[in-house]
């Protein structure tokens, strides 16, 4: 978060306290004054940049650093009286719209969203991909497909994989229709044109006390995915440490859910840099993290946590997403 006035700095500090309580947010840093110089150092280091300042200052400061909607961080602006919060850049792919609504709910500020699909009650193809952790291969066609939605056209979503979990989303049903295909690649089809979409690997890392049953584990997984507004069916893998190979609760939960289970060696868990560490776990197994480290390791090189360690009565769960596509 960047601020230029004392009032803006006070808002930054209050907002940091509130945002830090969200398990989806791993780190919040505050910078004060020297906006352009600070942006030159940090622009590509954060998923989102929130400016507590006039919109004009932010626009003039960020313009030289912007490159591509697929890479730019979410840019959000809030006035230093806390009255309005504006989604400025990367509303869909960068998540600025969702974060704007989150900040508004925490502060009472009025959210300002200007992306056309959102203001007319549709979910754009890029917003759909962001929500379900898919990657769009040919992003140059996003505008055409979203324009078609605004004109009342339906887009076909085709894949050989089961996508029935999408049917529970009322906004999805307003704009899209699922059809069974022969290819794992998800295709968004409009007339004779298509967008190719590949899902990233979504991994739930889990650690439990001894003897926790599968019912509790399944319920905890459901609650965890609900933080991300995702159905359990979107989960690709459950991961845990090799010391849990005898835990029937984890094994049975994997079998019941029909989600693959992977065990990670202790030496591999130690290699992962995680935001949460447990002195108890470290003293017992020699590793500071099980759920976060297992999720990151199984999600692969360059993976990132999208939900840090969250605990439920003897169960700890974290969720990571792969950098690379599944196929």
CA 298, 307, 121 angle in degrees (round to 5)?
Answer: 115
pLDDT at residue 160 is higher than 80:
yes
Tell me, yes or no, whether 47 and 94 share the same domain: yes
pLDDT at residue 19 is higher than 70:
yes
Tell me, yes or no, whether 89 and 135 share the same domain: no
- Tokens linked to 19: 């945002």
Dmax over Cα atoms in the chain, in whole Å?
60
Distance CA 212, CA 220 (A): 11
pLDDT tens for 76-98 read: 999 999 999 999 999 999 999 99
Q: How much is the pLDDT for 326?
A: 62
pLDDT at residue 327 is higher than 70:
no
Query: How many structural domains does the chain have?
Result: 3
Distance CA 201, CA 208 (A): 23
If one counts every other C-beta atom within 10 angstroms of the C-beta of residue 116, the result is 12
Give the number of C-alpha atoms closer than 13 A to the C-alpha of residue 89, restricted to the C-beta side. 23
Bridge-based pairing of strands 84-89 and 110-112 is parallel
Tell me, yes or no, whether 295 and 249 share the same domain: yes
Q: How much is the pLDDT for 286?
A: 81
Q: Residue 304's closest CA among 290, 282, 322?
A: 322
Q: Which of 134, 159, 191 is the last residue of a domain?
A: 191
Tell me, yes or no, whether 220 and 318 share the same domain: yes
Encode 91-139 in three state secondary structure. Answer: CCCCCHHHHHHHHHHHHCCEEECCCHHHHCCCCCHHHHHHHCCEEECCH
pLDDT at residue 325 is higher than 80:
no
Tell me, yes or no, whether 83 and 133 share the same domain: no
Rounded to an integer, the average pLDDT of 298-313 is: 95
Tell me, yes or no, whether 51 and 165 share the same domain: no
Backbone angles phi, psi at 44, to 5 degrees: -95, 10
Distance CA 94, CA 273 (A): 24
Lowest mean pLDDT among 166-180, 220-234, 276-290: 276-290
Q: Which of 144, 173, 191 is the last residue of a domain?
A: 191
If one counts every other C-beta atom within 10 angstroms of the C-beta of residue 143, the result is 12
pLDDT at residue 27 is higher than 90:
yes
pLDDT tens for 190-229 read: 998 999 999 999 999 999 999 999 999 999 999 999 999 9
Q: Which of 114, 144, 178 is the last residue of a domain?
A: 114
Residue 22 structural domain: 2-114
Tell me, yes or no, whether 181 and 213 share the same domain: no
| CA separation, residue 282 to residues 26, 33, 314 (Å) | 21, 40, 16
- Tokens linked to 39: 């942006």
Residue 175 maps to which CATH number? 3.40.1390
To the nearest 10°, report the CA torsion of 125, 200, 219, 208: -160
pTM of the predicted model, to two decimals?
Answer: 0.91
């Amino acid at each position: 978060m960047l601020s230029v006035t004392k009032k803006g700095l006070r808002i930054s500090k209050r907002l940091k306290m509130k945002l830090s309580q969200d398990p989806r947010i791993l780190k919040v840093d505050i910078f004060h004054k020297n906006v352009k110089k600070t942006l030159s150092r940090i622009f590509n280091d954060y998923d989102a940049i929130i400016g507590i300042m006039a919109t004009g200052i932010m626009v003039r400061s960020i313009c030289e650093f912007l490159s591509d909607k697929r890479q730019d961080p979410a840019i959000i602006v809030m006035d230093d009286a806390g009255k309005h919060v504006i989604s400025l850049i990367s509303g869909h792919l960068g998540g600025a719209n969702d974060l704007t609504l989150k900040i508004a709910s925490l502060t009472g500020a009025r959210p300002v969203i200007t992306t056309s699909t959102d203001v007319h009650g549709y979910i754009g193809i890029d917003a759909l991909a962001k929500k379900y952790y898919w990657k769009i291969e040919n992003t140059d066609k996003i505008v055409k497909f979203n324009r078609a939605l605004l004109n009342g056209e339906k887009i076909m979503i085709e894949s050989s994989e089961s996508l029935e979990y999408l049917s529970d989303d009322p906004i999805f049903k307003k704009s899209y229709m699922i059809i069974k295909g022969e290819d794992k690649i998800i295709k968004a089809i409009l007339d004779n044109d298509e967008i190719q979409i590949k899902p990233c690997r979504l991994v739930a890392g889990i650690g439990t006390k001894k003897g926790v049953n599968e019912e509790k584990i399944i319920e905890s997984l459901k609650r965890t995915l609900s933080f991300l507004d995702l159905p359990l069916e979107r989960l690709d893998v459950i991961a845990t440490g090799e010391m849990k190979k005898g835990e029937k609760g984890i094994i049975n939960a994997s079998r019941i859910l029909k989600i693959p289970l992977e065990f990670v060696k202790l030496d591999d868990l130690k290699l992962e840099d995680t935001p949460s560490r447990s002195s108890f776990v470290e003293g017992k197994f020699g590793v500071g993290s099980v759920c976060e480290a297992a999720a990151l390791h199984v999600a692969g090189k360059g993976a990132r946590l999208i939900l840090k360690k969250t605990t439920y009565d003897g169960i700890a769960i974290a969720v990571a997403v792969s950098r690379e596509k599944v196929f």
